[in-house]
Amino acid sequence: MEATALVPLGMGLIVVGAGLGIGRFAAAAAESIARQPEAADKITGAVNLPLFLLEGVAILAEVFTFLMLIL
């Protein structure tokens, strides 16, 4: 099997990992807002930044897989 044949598989793994991470963020945020609705603004603020950092890692991995595919 050619090496590039595995690249879509890696892309799928990235999506699984990023999805798990974002899902856990969303679940935790929803739970804590349900428990303490008056702190919703603070919780959203605290969740936002790590969420974007996580998204950045996923995007970076996708860019690198894409580069592997075309180079």
Partner 1 sequence: MDQVGSNIIHHVSNSDIAHPIIHLPSIFGVNFSVTKHVLMLWIVAVLLSVVIIVPVRTYLTGSRSVPRGWMNAIEAIVQFIRDSVVRPNVGPKWVMTWTPLILTFFFFILFANGIGMIPIFDILGAFNRFVLDVPAADSHNVINGMLHGGVTATGNFNVTGALAMITFFSIITAGTKAHGFINHWKNLAPHGLAWPVYIILIPIEIIGLLVKPFALTMRLAANMTGGHIALLALLSLMAIFGEMFHSAIAGIGVAFISVPMAVAISGLEIIVILVQAYVFTLLTSVFMGMAINVHH
Residues of this chain that interact with partner 1 (CB under 8 A) are: 45, 48-49, 52-53, 55-57, 59-60, 62-63
Q: Which is nearer to partner 1, 28 or 59 (CB)?
A: 59
Q: Please, what is the minimum distance in Å from the beta carbon of residue 15 to partner 1? A: 12
Cα separation, 37 vs 57, whole angstroms:
30
- CB nearer to partner 1: give 19 or 56: 56
| Secondary element (H or E) of residue 60 | helix 40-70
Cα separation, 48 vs 34, in Å, equals 17
Residue 27 C-beta: closest distance to partner 1, Å: 20
**Among residues 35 and 71, whose Cβ is nearest to partner 1?**
71
